[in-house]
Amino acid sequence: MRLLEEEAADALRQAEKEAEATKMAIKRKIEQAATSDFQARSLPAKLRIEPSDPEDVVSEKVRPFISIMCLASFN
């Protein structure tokens, strides 16, 4: 009986180690995603908005995107 309890405890410890390793891997992936340049990967160059862009340029870049999203919502 004692042997079964020790095996169960060992299995539980192993599962906890694996869960902790998985948690840390997910945390690293989230940190990598947060530090990567998401906008540069996902948007075409003509839609990228730079912090130094004046408001009228931002409007020119956002307008086509909003139009596409509106059209997509009707389908």
Q: How confident is the model at residue 56 (pLDDT cuts 50, 70, 90)?
A: confident
Apex 24 CA angle, 22 and 25, nearest 5: 65
Q: Report which DSSP code applies to 51.
A: T
Place of tokens 């540069």: 40
- Which two tokens mark 4? 């079964």
Taking the whole predicted model, whether its pTM rises above 0.85 is answered as no
The pLDDT assigned to 21 comes to: 93
- What's the rounded mean pLDDT across residues 7-14? 89
- Note the pLDDT tens digit of each residue in 19-55: 999 999 998 887 777 666 555 566 677 777 777 888 8
61 within 8 A of 47, measured Cβ to Cβ? yes
Map out the domains of the chain as residue ranges: 1-36, 44-75
48 within 8 A of 66, measured Cβ to Cβ? no
- Which two tokens mark 64? 């086509």
Q: How confident is the model at residue 74 (pLDDT cuts 50, 70, 90)?
A: low
